[in-house]
Amino acid sequence: MASPLEALGLVKLRTGKVRELFTLDETRLIMVASDRISAFDVVMAEPIPDKGRVLTAMTAFWSEELGEVAPGSLISCDPAVIDAEVPGFADLDELHGRTMLVRAAEMLPLECIVRGYLAGQAWEEYAASGTIHSMAAPQGLRLAEQLPEPIFTPSTKAEAGHDLNIDLDTAAGIVGAERLAEAMEICLGLYRAAAERCARAGFILADTKFELGVVDGRLVLCDEVVTPDSSRIWPADQVVLGETPPAFDKQPFRDWLAAQPWDRTPPPPTVPADVVTATSARYRAAYERVTGRSLSEWYGPSS
């Protein structure tokens, strides 16, 4: 089905699991976050109300919050600003609050993951082999334990199938040692600043994935930034070492899905209404509790 943005003359570049990307001109793009949710690289049939608005609102918040650490590709989420560039957008209420006007970038072909705590795939590997992304790690760490220092743990950015966790030498072979060192410095700085801001709100930013791209010869922060889709966000007062913490991110949904009798290939199981409702509430709470802002004050109608 054609997007209403195509009816306004924009050309769709691609449709991802969650986002759609359109060309505005040679230097700018329009990015729209849907309410789709994916897990294990499969998109569920049931949307999560307000998810797209949360991802966009949090990205706008963090782009502003982290602007002194690294420049970002985001230009504006304001429907009036977008309408000035895409006449007719003001009438597309359903896209307000989930649409970003961004600078086009040559994307770095790496997922730039920073981990401050041991969880997820990193914990699974560590428990099995004592390494993290095939790199040496301190002995005796427990699930949900803070690492001595945040670490940069890249992965491949697969066009199809799963991303693969890789070590730093492999990453340097993909982007070059100098570019990798620059990306590491930027991402570790972004993580530390974001983790400090989360801590002031009573949360632990366990890990997060950054997307970097090149604009005018320099690396900038692109795509979503410290959202529940790209991060593990834990309430600091509820973390117990050795146990999976409660989370204000996508992990509880993954956990529910992993418990279903499903082989992780399409079609996915039907997501019950109570799981949809709980997931939507968790996304909204993540935005409001981390940022101190109300989602009702963000652009666009609630879905």
Q: pLDDT tens for residues 112-124?
A: 999 999 999 999 9
| Residue at a domain's end among 250, 272, 289 | 250
pLDDT score at 163: 79
Residues 118 and 229 in one domain: yes
Task: Establish how many alpha carbons lie within 13 A of residue 214's alpha carbon, considering only the half-sphere containing its beta carbon.
Answer: 11
Residue 257 in any domain: the answer is no
Residues 171 and 93 in one domain: no
Looking only at the bridges linking them, the beta strands covering 146-152 and 110-117 are antiparallel
pLDDT score at 2: 74
Residues 124 and 234 in one domain: yes
| Residue at a domain's end among 55, 89, 104 | 104
Residues 91 and 135 in one domain: no
Residues 61 and 144 in one domain: no
When pLDDT is cut at 50, 70 and 90, the band that residue 161 belongs to is low
Residue 224 in any domain: the answer is yes
pLDDT score at 41: 86
pLDDT top residue among 158 and 45: 45
When pLDDT is cut at 50, 70 and 90, the band that residue 101 belongs to is very high
> Are 116 and 207 in contact, with CB atoms under 8 Å apart?
yes
Residues 73 and 147 in one domain: no
Residue 273 in any domain: the answer is no
- Number of domains, the chain: 2
Residue 291 in any domain: the answer is no
User: Residue 58 is part of a domain; what is its CATH number?
Assistant: 3.30.200.20
Joined tokens for residue 284: 């909204």
User: Residue 129 is part of a domain; what is its CATH number?
Assistant: 3.30.470.20
When pLDDT is cut at 50, 70 and 90, the band that residue 160 belongs to is low
pLDDT digits (tens, 9 = 90+) for 237-282: 999 999 999 999 999 999 999 999 999 999 999 999 999 999 999 9
> Are 290 and 201 in contact, with CB atoms under 8 Å apart?
yes
Residues 6+ away with beta carbon under 8 Å from 70: 186, 189, 190, 219, 220, 221
When pLDDT is cut at 50, 70 and 90, the band that residue 194 belongs to is very high
| Residue at a domain's end among 104, 133, 149 | 104
Residue 141 in any domain: the answer is yes
Q: What is the mean pLDDT of residues 142-146?
A: 98
When pLDDT is cut at 50, 70 and 90, the band that residue 303 belongs to is confident
Residues 231 and 137 in one domain: yes
Q: What is the mean pLDDT of residues 61-70?
A: 97
Residue 286 in any domain: the answer is no
pLDDT score at 135: 95
pLDDT score at 103: 98
Residues 9 and 44 in one domain: yes
pLDDT digits (tens, 9 = 90+) for 200-244: 999 999 999 999 999 999 999 999 999 999 999 999 999 999 999
- pLDDT, averaged across the chain: 96
* Domain membership of residue 89 as a residue range: 4-104
When pLDDT is cut at 50, 70 and 90, the band that residue 157 belongs to is confident
**Closest C-alpha among 248, 254, 279, 245 to residue 119:** 245
Residues 175 and 128 in one domain: yes
Joined tokens for residue 10: 């924009």
Residues 6+ away with beta carbon under 8 Å from 26: 104
Residue 194 in any domain: the answer is yes
Residues 124 and 246 in one domain: yes
When pLDDT is cut at 50, 70 and 90, the band that residue 1 belongs to is low
Residues 159 and 244 in one domain: yes
Residues 6+ away with beta carbon under 8 Å from 10: 3, 22, 23, 24, 30, 86
Q: What is the mean pLDDT of residues 78-99?
A: 98
**Closest C-alpha among 153, 70, 119 to residue 250:** 119
Residue 232 in any domain: the answer is yes
Residues 139 and 243 in one domain: yes
Rounded to 10 degrees, what is the CA torsion of 2, 265, 303, 227? -110
Q: What is the mean pLDDT of residues 102-116?
A: 97
